[in-house]
Structure 1
Amino acid sequence: MKKIVFEQEIKASAETVWNKMWDKKSYTYWTTPFCAGTYFTGEIELGGRIHFIAPSFDGMYSDVFYLIPNKLIIFKHIGNLKDLKELPLDAEAERWTGSFETYKLNEVDGITTVTAEIDCVPEYINYMNEKFPLALQELKKISE
């Protein structure tokens, strides 16, 4: 597992950026580069279980491990979804279960820097390096 980091400056308050990131409607827009139509269910609250879902009704489930609204959220990834149901851990999921995805927002003079840190298995590093900057550009567009 390797930690990869992405940053994006956005000319908006941290509160605005946060709301665009985790509002269920706008989440679908900024995550389009990963998979058009992706959405999530569950509540962004400490200990909350979140289902990240593709239009195929497959995806992954994670828990909100740490939360400071408008500043920091850490997701602890657990396993896969199939037909909207949590699957038991298998050998593939066990390779990344327990990994973290962190978003930090730091606002200075009306500019918010979003830092995303992702624990990534080797076969997804190129994908993330290609798609994550595009997603953060989408977040910038809808936030400014």
Structure 2
Amino acid sequence: METLEFEIKINAAPEKIWTVLWDDLSYRQWTSAFSKGSFYLGTWDEGSIIKFFDPNNNGMYSRVVKNDPNKEMIFLHLGEIYDGVETPQDWGDATESYILEETEEETILKVAIKSSPEFKDFFEEKFPAALQNVKNLAENQL
């Protein structure tokens, strides 16, 4: 596992960024950087299972390990979904963390992903665009 780290400074309050990250409509907008038509099913409650899909009903499922509103969200990735069928994977501690740090001038969104090498290039290509989407939505939505 390799930890990939991304961050972006956003001129918005943590509450606004949190809403952009996890509300259904804006989630679909910012995650379009990974796959147009991305969506999720489930809740963000700690301990719950959340399923992330592309428009072809493929994706992954994860457990919400931590949900500290407006501060931190952590998922543990458990397996893949193909044609709606869940297949567990032995990914160990494959986590994805979102941390919001408020400063006097802005909020810093930090993302850390523990990933296997096969996904590294994908994340390094797509995550900067996804975070730019989050920034644009948080700074420009009414």
Aligned partner of 2:128 in structure 1 is 133
Give the Å deviation of 1:97: 4.7
| SS of equivalent residue, structure 2 residue 135 | helix
Aligned partner of 2:39 in structure 1 is 39
What TM-score does the superposition give when structure 1 sets the normalisation length?
0.92
Identity of aligned residues (%): 37
Matched, 1:106 2:101: yes
What are the equivalent positions in structure 2 for 1:1-144 lying under 5 Å apart? 1-87=1-87, 89=88, 93-94=89-90, 96-109=91-104, 111-144=106-139
Contact 2:30 2:133 in 1 (8 A): yes
| SS of equivalent residue, structure 2 residue 21 | helix
Contact 1:78 1:98 in 2 (8 A): no
Residue 42 of structure 1 aligns to which amino acid in structure 2?
Answer: G
Gaps of 5+ in 1: none
CA distance in 2, matches of 1:25, 1:64: 20
Give the Å deviation of 1:130: 1.0
Residue 77 of structure 1 aligns to which amino acid in structure 2?
Answer: H
Give the Å deviation of 1:124: 1.4
Given the superposition, is the C-alpha separation of residues 79 and 63 from structure 1 closer, same or farther in structure 2, using an over 3 Å criterion? Answer: same
Contact 1:79 1:97 in 2 (8 A): no
| SS of equivalent residue, structure 2 residue 37 | coil
How many residues were matched structurally? 139
CA distance in 1, matches of 2:81, 2:35: 15
Contact 2:93 2:114 in 1 (8 A): no
Residue 58 of structure 1 aligns to which amino acid in structure 2?
Answer: N
Give the Å deviation of 1:98: 3.7
Calculate the aligned-residue CA RMSD, in Å: 1.1
What TM-score does the superposition give when structure 2 sets the normalisation length?
0.93
Give the Å deviation of 1:84: 2.5
Bigger Cα displacement from structure 2, 125-134 vs 104-113: 104-113
Gaps of 5+ in 2: none
